[in-house]
Structure 1
Amino acid sequence: MSYIVSHATKWYYDYMLLTYQYKLNPNPKQVVILETWGELLRRHWNYALGQRLDGLKRTRSRIDRCSLLSEPIGEIPSKVDYYTQASDLKQTSYLYPDYKNIYADCQQQNLMRLDKAWKRWLVPDKNGKRGGKPRFKKQGDISSFTFPRVNSPKAGAHLTGNILKLSKIGEIEVILHRPIPDGFEIKQATILSKADGWYCSFYAKDKTVPDALSVDKIKSATGIDVGLEKFLTTADGQSIEVPQYYRKAQSTLARIQRHLARLTKGSKNYQKQASKVARLHLHVARQRKEFHYHVAHWLVNSYDLIIFENLNIRGLARTRLAKSILDVAWSAFLEIMQAVAVKRGKLTLGVDPRGTSINCSGCGERVEKTLAKREHSCSCGLVIDRDWNSALNLLKRGSVGLPIPGCRGLDSSQPMKQQVSFVNLRCSR
């Protein structure tokens, strides 16, 4: 199983980059080659990262003092960056002949990944935030490598029908469960290993970008409030239940992990049991992703404008509700929903969530309530589900100045007790 549009989909003004992922069927000899490439690229990553850290340590000094007491005295090394490390690839293959068997572009892409991770750590983004420090990779951590050119004269990867020909690896059968649309230009191919086999992700360029819906053509809009009791609630009172895929798999996962803990680490039985654990995690992740796509397509088919709340999900994941929050994966869902909306020409808008669950959607009065209280009851007479009230506030906050009709939900002049209705999703991506 694979997904036509990944959460890493990117869109630009004149084209989109979509990810098409297919399973590969390599023979045993090719599997050995793929695993060997991953291990050699891991070792080269660790060497290149150590070279960068050593150069940083030897040249860094505090502003008000030198580092003679804590740093070795020696020749100051020259600056280490992607270009200096890429120029050393020829010497690496001379000293270690095994690297001659790896396609040169794959080694360069490995260094590019390190360079991006290094810059994210040292250089803050426009919001002043930086990424984590790049880490040394343990055995098996690097399970993917990229061919940056496909189907061009000097490319290392060529896709013809259902056969993928890779330089220095050979021809591998691709299980094309769906065709790549005509007119798409394949830019890159990434070979990656998962718990159930090897896959190839093709990054395709699509120049037929649908025009975004203009504001004056918006006919329907909604606000969505995500939660843990209900996955989301729309402004017209429809809700979707939380599937809890990880929670349901916990008992099975605990049993096979206990079995894994009793085995000798590194033995064949240990590897077989570890594969069972990894397959279960992969199955849960695929269930969750499929569910996210179903919900995203249902929303995009139903509304022209979808207003959501910009939550600090990373901060919420540090609370005692972390397991439930990570199980529903709000952040991944919002990325998928925005990608699907762009592909369909629909609009999405993120707004500030502060006060949406406290303020009354009918009169605007603040109604303080604890997290355990799931019903909003205001002095104006409005009694409504807490999440529905929040979705209505999100719709009002995000649709200010837009020429759209009412939310087809509550009429604040006629307060009454309302209950949300649940939606059964039976749609395909």
Structure 2
Amino acid sequence: MRTAYQYRLRPTKQQATEIDRWLSMCCAQYNYLLADRFNWYEQNRCPVNACPLVCHLPELRDNPDYYSQKKTLPELKKTHSHYGDIYSQVLQDVVKRVKVSFDRFLKGDSNGKRSGKPRFKPRNRYRTFTYPQMKDGCLQGNLIDLPKLGKVKVILHRPLPDGFKVKTASVTKKVDGYYLTLSLEDSTVPEIKPNINPELITGIDMGLKEFFTTAEGETVTIPQHYRKAQKRLRVVQKRVSRRKKGSNRRQKAVKQLGKQHKKVADKRKDFHFKTAKNLLQKYDVIAHEDLNIRGISRSRLSKSVHDAGWGNFLSILTNKAENAGLLVIPVKASGTTQECSSCGTKVPKKLHERWHECSCGCSLDRDHNAAIVIKNRSVGHPDFKAQLMSGSSSRSH
């Protein structure tokens, strides 16, 4: 099992300067390698090497894949000696990032979904470099040994869990300082607890009136961190707009604006973690709708959807359930608000109708009804059935 812990870094002035220099050089190399890929793509997208009616086309060249671009790094260090100051595996990870972004553009991800055309990154948008491999014992007390950067102070606000090994380390520059993200692995942790209780199951219906409603009728209010901070953000944004582009005063205003946005994001993230923890303390199995959040966020509800942060919450809930050995099941989202939770009859309702009334006598809140429907659908889900089978077999033994 893999998990990630993030800590605050306290580098010295010399180390902070070196981190900024590495980010600048990695950004330049990323853009150069991406341009090389685009050059190949434009010249070789057609397999025909000549056009008899117009002119001769340039010769086709080999696709600049991960290994061919990786072989250019030793030559890069000869022609640009300052790249020798960067740890070799950090540079190799830049090549990997180019490969992943370009492959998603051409081939798509594991589900076949293609991403948009990769963009060249300006310096202020390239904020992270990664060590793909870390030695055992790299973390000693409150210091971490990063190759070619030395020992950097870490604020260990929580200890690493027992039995986990540090696999990778990423250094990120944010508006309020530097952060370290450690990717941890432990192969001994079970995926799902063998003694999971299938009766402790609930369904949650995500909403914009309430953050979610459970099948038991419990609701959680949306804190609306962004909307509450809009007045302050508007003042700081005007301050940025009035500053002259390229001036030091504008840079200070942009930094202040970034801190305000990060404060909102941190509050939302804290709310998501606490809410997920409370859910997992009550239930062993949680079902939710498999929502097309990207599609919904393009509608007129986009601000409210982004402020609620459904996608981040469901991701946090799934990860915490995996760590605890519990089960989170996504079910089909279509028709959950129109279907009666008692008899299964379709009861059409418009968006402004917030109460469910059925001829069978079922009368309850619209979101509460949808949560019960989601719970009922999860019982027939293959993951839930497999867990019931494994649980019954373990109890029989």
TM-score by length of 1: 0.84
1:182 to partner: Cα distance: 2.7
Per-residue deviation, 1:66 = 5.7
Deviation at 1:69, TM superposition (A): 8.2
Corresponding residue number in structure 2 for 1:390: 370
Corresponding residue for residue 51 of structure 1: 36
- Structure 1: state its 5+ residue gaps: 1-15, 404-429
Give, in angstroms, the shift of residue 126 of structure 1. 4.8
* Matching residue within 3, 11, 14 for 1:29: 14
SS at match of 1:131: coil
Give the Cα separation in 2 of the matches to 1:292 and 1:267: 38
2:190 paired with 1:205: no
- Single out whichever of 386-395 and 91-100 deviates more from structure 2: 91-100
Instruction: Please give the alpha-carbon distance, in whole angstroms, between the structure 2 residues aligned to 1:253 and 1:400.
Output: 46
Name the structure with the higher helix share. 2
Separation in 2 of the partners of 1:285 and 1:203? 22
CA deviation profile, 1:74-122 (whole Å, cap 9, x unmatched): 4433321111111111111111121111111100001111111111111
Deviations 1:340-382 (A, max 9, x none): 1111111111111221111221222222111111111223333
The amino acid of 1:369's aligned partner reads K
Question: Could you tell me which residue of structure 2 aligns to residue 158 of structure 1?
Answer: 138
> Structure 2 counterpart of 1:56, which letter?
Y
The whole-number CA distance in structure 2 between the counterparts of 1:25 and 1:71 is: 60
Q: Secondary structure at the match of 2:342?
A: coil
The AA in structure 2 aligned to 1:18 is: T
For each residue in 1:308-357, what CA deviation from the matched residue of structure 2 results, as whole angstroms up to 9, or x when unmatched? 11111111111100110111111111111111111111111111122111
Q: Note the C-alpha offset of 1:72.
A: 7.9
Q: Separation in 1 of the partners of 2:236 and 2:351?
A: 35
From 257, 262, 277, the equivalent of 2:257 is 277
| 1:211 positional shift | 5.0
Q: 2-side partners of 1:255 and 1:72: how far apart?
A: 59
- In the other structure, the counterpart of 1:250 is 230
Q: Aligned partners of 2:165, 2:233: CA distance in 1, in Å?
A: 41
Residue 214 of structure 1: how far off its partner (Å):
5.0
1:261 aligns with 2:216: no
In structure 2, what residue type is equivalent to 1:283? K
Q: For the Cα contact (< 8 Å) 1:150–1:159, is it kept in 2?
A: no
Q: CA separation in 1, counterparts of 2:232 and 2:29? A: 38
Contact 2:233-2:260 within 8 A present in 1 as well: yes
- Spell out, residue by residue over 1:382-422, the C-alpha distance to the aligned partner (whole angstroms, 9 max, x if none): 3211100100111112114979xxxxxxxxxxxxxxxxxxx
AA of the residue aligned to 2:138: H
Counterpart CA distance in 2 for 1:71 and 1:201 is 53
Residue aligning to 1:427: none
Aligned-residue offset at 1:254 = 0.8
Of 268, 273, 285, the residue aligned with 1:288 is 268
Question: Is 1:79 aligned to residue 70 of structure 2?
Answer: no
Match of residue 137, structure 1, among 117, 121, 141: 121
Q: How does 1:311-350 map to 2 (within 5 A)?
A: 311-350=291-330
Whole-Å separation in 1 of the counterparts to 2:53 and 2:43: 12
Query: Using a 3 Å threshold, how does the CA distance of structure 1 residues 211 and 159 change in structure 2: closer, same or farther?
Result: closer
Pick aligned residue for 1:102 from 74, 79, 86: 86
Question: CA separation in 1, counterparts of 2:54 and 2:264?
Answer: 49
Count of aligned pairs between the two proteins: 383
Give the match for residue 160 of structure 2. 180
Moved more, 17-26 or 116-125: 116-125
Answer whether contact 1:24 1:172 (CA < 8 A) is retained.
Answer: yes
Equivalent residue number for residue 421 of structure 1: none
Gaps of 5+ in 2: 386-397
Query: Which residue does the alignment assign to 1:38?
Result: 23
Q: Corresponding residue for 1:114? A: 98
Displacement of 1:228: 0.2
| 2: CA distance, partners of 1:223 / 1:247 | 28
User: Partner of 1:140: helix, strand, or coil?
Assistant: helix
- Verify the 8 A CA contact 1:38 1:140 in the aligned structure 2: no
Match in the other structure for 1:189 = 169
CA distance in 2, matches of 1:180, 1:211: 20
- Classify 1:44/1:263 alpha carbon distance in 2 versus 1 (closer, same or farther; 3 Å): same
TM superposition shift of 1:70:
8.8
Give the fraction of aligned pairs with identical amino acids, expressed as a percent: 38
Paired residue secondary structure (1:338): helix
Q: Are positions 1:20 and 2:2 aligned together?
A: no
Question: Matched residues in 2 for 1:67 and 1:305: separation?
Answer: 62
Q: 2:151 aligns with which of 160, 171, 177?
A: 171
The change in CA–CA distance for 1:230 and 1:96 in structure 2 (over 3 A counts) is same
Structure 1 residue 216: Cα displacement: 7.8
- Asked whether the 8 Å contact 1:39–1:139 carries over to 2, the reply is yes
